[in-house]
Structure 1
């Protein structure tokens, strides 16, 4: 584990577990890092003070009562996150976070890493701006202080009730709440005391990561609580708590009632529109109910998509408006400033851009591997003077990537615009891009391709789908990537996919379904036909690109330049013809070693073909794709012919306005 991840784990409070009833302990609970203190009146202190002056208001004014901030440049950069419980108001939240900055610096004097917890809020700051994906709470060597009030009547049944309620509350927080927050209550007609629960994660976490974190701390700590009347686990990435006395505001979202009351336990109350992210299948309901719900959701998505298609022509004028501004120039400038890294730091990190550290080169310039002073490995994108990525695209990529946080999106570390240099600094992704493994020609690539078994390919497909779902539906911004292709899918050390290169991406408002551009920019073979022919782009054009990648992954074949090629046997039509003939399994990549479940492979072929259909309205939303890939209880309709350019009366179709990149 690198120094930055080690400090992240420290900042996440390596033994940050407190299990106390409200009356049994006072606030706050501070947890301090163990190394690397800062000096008084240092640049780090100045950056911390800047964040302390703005983060309380930013948190209180957020819809989710959650905010992050970053100030300064590496290595004196400060990253902070603040989160309030969703059942308190903005004033209480602002007061709590303001006090947290005071108490944290009093309790953890000159520590670069500090976390502090209160009943209604928590604050964490560090020189590390991201926590490891696998940071899901304590697993060993924790020593909880438990509320030692005991349940005296039928403790075994009480423990069953408590376990069911804690897990139901965690399920709802992860899969049914965009705020990643839920409250619960179990009322068993005076057989036992009422039980109240809360579960919460930072709202920018994807559903599966939130539930994984909650599952980890519940698994590791709940056994110590059984038979007792209160306990809690405090962790940066997730938290849960239960008491036999009410401790939250408002009505419970999840309710469990006694079976002996003659009425079944009611379904959780609807706090907000449920998100299907993370696979709603993981919410524990009977199979028949699940099948009905998923079928209804699929029909609803199809109806909404068709309605959008029918209204398309009437909205052409509106669609031609420029994509919306999502922040002011001042905000963007401040954001860019917070990401700045000195050119001297990057020269030292890359050996003055030595060729031995070069990872690759393209139209934009060269990509170099580097190591920052703290030990973090980075990839430095050095834009050349002739780069096709202009200043506008550079600013667009900076503003976008800095605001997007998901494990399946590449992480922006910083930027440098000194000495006529334009440098973008990303996390280092060691296994390079998907296309080099699938389509590379040297011996190393061939060996890596053979090691890319079905489990890895299936995980890559699911990861890309979840990253797109986050961009389209779950992030604070609604982002259309517009240049999704195999070379823009990077693979980390565990072969997990990360979507990269947001230079062509566009922002949509929440009620916007499509837009039109006069300049077509993208990569042949991945662009949807309506985009190339008419300049129309939407979430459905990204879905088309995703479908192409899925078919490339399962076949090991690259899609032809179907827009300007005289070949009729492009990948999409080839797969469709074999699908129609019932021989699609003949197209499975022969280099894929080991066994694989034929049902999963067929489902991927099916989903890929649904995504590349010619009619954009018929293509599924990415939330539906995630469900399709994650369960075999959904019946998929037959795909129609792929949307590719065929020859017209013997003449190749061309689009004179197309400006192709990549």
Structure 2
């Protein structure tokens, strides 16, 4: 792998917001990972359901031809979802024994945790009160485990890296596309190293994934972690949806399915019937890695990256230190001259929008001559550059806050930070380009495109909820956004939502429930009453803002608009809810084409989120569950919290005495 590729991959791996456990050396199995969001009581219904799951799941998995099964026991909110997966080279008896042992160990290791996983060499067990989908790459990210085998390859380590990348990715491709078990093993000759003459690899996904889903899952894990092993003679990344491993000694049963004859020869994959077929190393590597690395390679067009310091090989702290923040920022620096050239010196014709912070510019990225293995990466990727207005009095602090946060957060429903520039009095953040602009413009602007369908609206609501769940509960940080509004929700090419603008966000301690400020920040119409009136903010104030957006998305009306006969949108919705006529408020652009039950459920959830009492508002994991099933009985809402409007307009308050 080229040095600049390694540098950028290490930098990006350093800011992945996954709480993983890094075990130096060859630790002994099993490895349990306990969730932190929900607990259950002894002798509770959840405990009884977990016992029933333990009685059935090991048998179901071992009887399956792919050694994989899932099961659901009980009813929400005490429902238990579980999955068991055995390694593709295991047999039914060892699989049954492994999972039986797992159900004995895991409840003891993770006492009363509703969400837990445990990894053994031949099997994996995961159970939770939340159903994990096959393609849910934002699922139990806290359920991952990284292990290094710390001895190093010393003979031509750069060549070893190239051989390892080719082997791992060829093995992953075979697992994704040539195996019903979504499992593959690989072997390569390291003929240049007498001490470690061979390298072995393994890749596996849960068999319910499609080839594309498996490829995406493995590519994500490999791109995030491969270079972090830095010439170690072995390493593995374990996750409930997919896993990969390599060693310089044999560790799997049976012959390798993929074989690389030498570091310079193309790999041969042994077909199930004993035949072989040839691959180009370049094609195999690109087929697996490029879908994930395409975004990373945006930065190559600038050619001004600084190489970050190597990652340490010890346990990683749950919260980043100030030194880590400095290293992360340094690794993401982009030369200002490159951004000036890419934006036409920030020409007005390239401007996407402008707010209190400053302007946002679209950039087309060209990458002439940048190579990966034996090929040239495709051109045409786009980014957006966020430029601090020189007249802004508070934007520098917002930018520092946003950078410190976003660099450590990664989720499909958060806008992704690509780089930063702090040169020549410029303050620039470089983001992925999100082509369909903001939810505010799509809902309330003069956009002449087709209005959002109900399916798109529901996907947006659900995506925002998942992004907030990640911020509040699932990331390595506990983050309160404080400025959630439709204009800060960006829509990608498939109209999936991405939460943006973290300039006003604050990090909470894991046990912290609220904070108080003497100066309120945010946008009128979205501010929770306890925050607006007393300066109290928490994850529940974000829930209030989310509830406002849900009602705006369903009705197509702004909360702070002046068209409501009885005042603000919340009051209007509540009056119609009490009268049983709330369906009359659904956005007329839908033309009556919507499932009334789903729409009413979304309005119900929106009203629960805007309750005056913060304690009465649901947490976002509960909201995601409510949106995902109609079997959960929703509590009756009460009248929404107080809404204040300033001069009939949406006003953003930008001063704050808090600090990150």
Residue of structure 2 aligned with 1:625, choices 615, 623, 640: 623
Deviation, structure 1 residue 329 = 3.4
Deviation, structure 1 residue 498 = 0.1
Question: Aligned with 1:451: secondary structure?
Answer: coil
8 A Cα contact 1:353 1:368, kept in partner: yes
Aligned equivalent of 2:437: 432
Alpha carbons of structure 1 residues 387 and 207: separation in structure 2 relative to 1, 3 Å: farther
Alpha carbons of structure 1 residues 369 and 89: separation in structure 2 relative to 1, 3 Å: closer
Q: Distance in 2 between matches of 1:224 and 1:566?
A: 57
- Can you list the C-alpha shifts for 1:11-41, whole angstroms capped at 9, x where unaligned? xxxxxxxxxxxxxxxxxxxxx7xxxx56xxx
Residue of structure 1 aligned with 2:26, choices 92, 115, 122: 92
Task: For structure 2, list consecutive stretches of 5 or more residues without a partner in the other structure.
Answer: 32-58, 100-120, 140-172, 186-200, 206-217, 221-240, 246-250, 253-317, 368-379
Tell me the TM-score normalized by structure 1: 0.56
Aligned equivalent of 2:204: 233
State whether structure 2 residue 575 is matched by structure 1 residue 577.
yes
8 A Cα contact 1:410 1:499, kept in partner: yes
Please show how residues 247-646 of structure 1 align to structure 2 within 5 Å: 327-374=320-367, 375-440=380-445, 442=446, 445=447, 447-448=448-449, 450-560=450-560, 568-593=566-591, 595-645=593-643
Deviation, structure 1 residue 332 = 2.1
Question: Aligned with 2:431: secondary structure?
Answer: strand
Question: Aligned with 1:356: secondary structure?
Answer: helix
Q: Distance in 2 between matches of 1:631 and 1:508?
A: 30
Aligned equivalent of 2:146: none
- Can you list the C-alpha shifts for 1:199-257, whole angstroms capped at 9, x where unaligned? 599xxxx954755799x99885553689x9x9853733353599xxxx89xxxxxxxxx
Deviation, structure 1 residue 335 = 1.7
Q: Distance in 2 between matches of 1:390 and 1:190?
A: 60
Q: Distance in 2 between matches of 1:572 and 1:82?
A: 35
Deviation, structure 1 residue 644 = 1.7
Question: Aligned with 1:513: secondary structure?
Answer: coil
Q: Distance in 1 between matches of 2:94 and 2:493?
A: 53
Question: Aligned with 1:403: secondary structure?
Answer: coil
Over the residues paired in the alignment, what is the CA RMSD in angstroms? 4.7
Q: Distance in 1 between matches of 2:607 and 2:63?
A: 45
Alpha carbons of structure 1 residues 397 and 82: separation in structure 2 relative to 1, 3 Å: closer
Deviation, structure 1 residue 344 = 1.1
Alpha carbons of structure 1 residues 467 and 517: separation in structure 2 relative to 1, 3 Å: same
Q: Distance in 1 between matches of 2:398 and 2:429?
A: 12
Q: Distance in 1 between matches of 2:546 and 2:18?
A: 34
Alpha carbons of structure 1 residues 557 and 627: separation in structure 2 relative to 1, 3 Å: same
Please show how residues 86-235 of structure 1 align to structure 2 within 5 Å: 89-92=23-26, 161-163=63-65, 165-168=67-70, 197-198=122-123, 208=133, 211=136, 222-223=179-180, 233=204, 235=218
Question: Aligned with 2:423: secondary structure?
Answer: coil
Aligned equivalent of 1:131: none
Alpha carbons of structure 1 residues 331 and 193: separation in structure 2 relative to 1, 3 Å: closer
Question: Aligned with 1:332: secondary structure?
Answer: helix
Q: Distance in 1 between matches of 2:125 and 2:392?
A: 44
Deviation, structure 1 residue 495 = 0.3
8 A Cα contact 2:351 2:362, kept in partner: yes
Moved more, 455-464 or 181-190: 181-190
Alpha carbons of structure 1 residues 507 and 191: separation in structure 2 relative to 1, 3 Å: closer
8 A Cα contact 1:197 1:241, kept in partner: no
Deviation, structure 1 residue 408 = 0.1
Alpha carbons of structure 1 residues 200 and 489: separation in structure 2 relative to 1, 3 Å: farther
Q: Distance in 2 between matches of 1:191 and 1:428?
A: 46
Moved more, 389-398 or 523-532: 389-398
Alpha carbons of structure 1 residues 362 and 209: separation in structure 2 relative to 1, 3 Å: farther
8 A Cα contact 2:67 2:92, kept in partner: no
Q: Distance in 1 between matches of 2:508 and 2:19?
A: 28
Q: Distance in 2 between matches of 1:191 and 1:422?
A: 55
Question: Aligned with 1:360: secondary structure?
Answer: strand
Task: For structure 1, list consecutive stretches of 5 or more residues without a partner in the other structure.
Answer: 1-31, 39-43, 52-67, 72-77, 95-119, 121-156, 249-324
8 A Cα contact 1:200 1:240, kept in partner: no
8 A Cα contact 1:522 1:661, kept in partner: no
Alpha carbons of structure 1 residues 542 and 81: separation in structure 2 relative to 1, 3 Å: closer
Q: Distance in 1 between matches of 2:533 and 2:594?
A: 39
- Can you list the C-alpha shifts for 1:351-406, whole angstroms capped at 9, x where unaligned? 22111111112222211101233343111111111225432221111010000000
Alpha carbons of structure 1 residues 533 and 572: separation in structure 2 relative to 1, 3 Å: same
Alpha carbons of structure 1 residues 217 and 577: separation in structure 2 relative to 1, 3 Å: farther
Question: Aligned with 2:607: secondary structure?
Answer: helix
Q: Distance in 2 between matches of 1:604 and 1:481?
A: 22
8 A Cα contact 2:176 2:182, kept in partner: no
